[in-house]
Amino acid sequence: MTSLRVISSEYIDAISALDVRGYTVEGVLGRGGIGVVFAATHDSKPVAVKVAWPHSGEHDGGLGEKTVHRLRAPRLTDSGHGPRFVPPTELGRCNRVLLGEVTRIREVEHPSVIGVTSQFSLDGRQAYEMPRVRGRVLDPSSPKDVARLAEEIHQLHDLQWPHGDLKPENVILRDDGSVIFIDPLPVGLDLVTPDWTHLNFLVSTPLVESADPRDRRMFLRHRDLVALALMASQAITGERPWGHAEVARMADRSVGIEAKREVLRHARTKLDALLPKLPAALRPFVGLALDPGLWPDDGPIFAAYLQARPFEVRCDALTSMPLGRMFREVAG
């Protein structure tokens, strides 16, 4: 069961506003990049309420600074030297992201996607209510947990609904083994371009600049599959070929192009050494999903790479794999 955190004094006004609306706040369930989630009761029912709440960077023990770094990524148009920042201190952006989450959640009806029971505003802060889910967060070191995740995300992708921000804290496992997803990434908002957690997104796709929702959904679907491959690698072998350290180096504007290429070469060497440790059924999936790609030069190298393995081809290959069956075999 998820434990509650002590309520900070900075949330007093929000709690008072929730009280006026009939909510009794019991504690804080979690604090993310754009909001805080309160545990509450409403009409005698246990609920969770997510409220847009930007980081001040002053009272969050460094989380605001961490969020800035997490939301930094290079643009492909200037050879990776132009980082893009998404300020986590802007309430307007937090409101837009939260409303985008509501839209995404309401796009699909599936037992594994947490529903929105109401959406409202608290003194200029967007908020929504959802059922309170009792369970535990996904254990990324457990092959069984990752196999359950793979089955559920495969079903959602069949419904053309990618989550877009798969990580352990966004996946809850109930006692009966069922999976619940929270906090999907909105489609169409310029949040993080390219992605900040996945190394090959920094080098492999032009679709991150596209305004077409179909392209954005392909982008989010690919995010899901790369995240799943990273978790599978970690759960089964205890290793992953690359992680946040490599991504941070790739996104650092002070790091030269040749150094970035060396990061990619090292990541590929680690991936080649890791693949034989995986069950044979998963090697094609993990190998393709975690291929670190090539760092673009002033055009020709990148163009040749896209011609040899465009992003759409990678996505088509990954999404055609029978992930549910493959992971069931791994879990035994």
Check if the beta carbon of residue 172 is closer than 8 Å to that of residue 250. no
196-232 pLDDT, tens digit per residue, is: 345 554 444 444 455 565 667 777 888 888 889 999 9
Q: How far apart are CA 23 and CA 18, in angstroms?
A: 5
Which pLDDT score, from 0 to 100, does residue 288 have?
87
> By mean pLDDT, which of 226-235, 287-296, 308-317 is the weakest?
308-317
Burial of 183 (0-12, 13-18, 19+ CB in 10 A): buried
Instruction: Give how far the C-alpha of residue 237 lies from the chain's centroid of Cα atoms, to the nearest Å.
Output: 22
Which pLDDT score, from 0 to 100, does residue 199 have?
53
Is the pLDDT higher at 219 or at 137?
A: 137
Q: How far apart are CA 23 and CA 80, in angstroms?
A: 47
Say if residue 71's pLDDT is above 70: no
Q: What is the mean pLDDT of residues 103-110?
A: 94
What are the percentages of helix, strand and coil residues in the chain, rounded to 5? 45, 15, 40
Say if residue 317's pLDDT is above 50: yes
Question: What is the DSSP-derived secondary structure letter of residue 5?
Answer: B
DSSP 100-146: HHHHHHHT---TTBPPP-EEEEETTEEEEEEEPPPSEE--TT-HHHH
Say if residue 307's pLDDT is above 80: no
**Count of C-beta atoms within a 10 Å radius of residue 331:** 16
Residues forming beta bridges with residue 41, ordered by sequence position: 24, 46
Per-domain residue ranges of the chain: 1-54+90-132, 136-331
Q: How far apart are CA 325 and CA 332, in angstroms?
A: 11
Q: In what order do the strands lie in the sheet with 171-173?
A: 136-137, 171-173, 179-181
Q: Tell me the pLDDT band of 34, cut-offs 50, 70 and 90.
A: confident
Residues forming beta bridges with residue 45, ordered by sequence position: 42
Helix (H, G, I), strand (E, B) or coil at 21: coil
Q: What value does the mean pLDDT of the chain take? A: 78
The tokens of 55 are what? 């980081």
> By mean pLDDT, which of 28-42, 53-67, 104-118, 160-174 is the weakest?
53-67
Q: What is the 3-state secondary structure (H, E, C) of 267-320?
A: HHHHHHHHHHHCCHHHHHHHHHHCCCCCCCCCCHHHHHHHHHCCHHHHHHHHHC
Domain 1-54+90-132 CATH assignment equals 3.40.50.300:
no
The tokens of 240 are what? 């992953």
Q: How far apart are CA 220 and CA 319, in angstroms?
A: 12
Picking from 61, 38, 54, the residue whose alpha carbon sits closest to that of residue 96 is 54
> By mean pLDDT, which of 56-60, 64-68, 236-240, 241-245 is the weakest?
64-68
What is the third-level CATH fold of 136-331?
A: Transferase(Phosphotransferase); domain 1 (1.10.510)
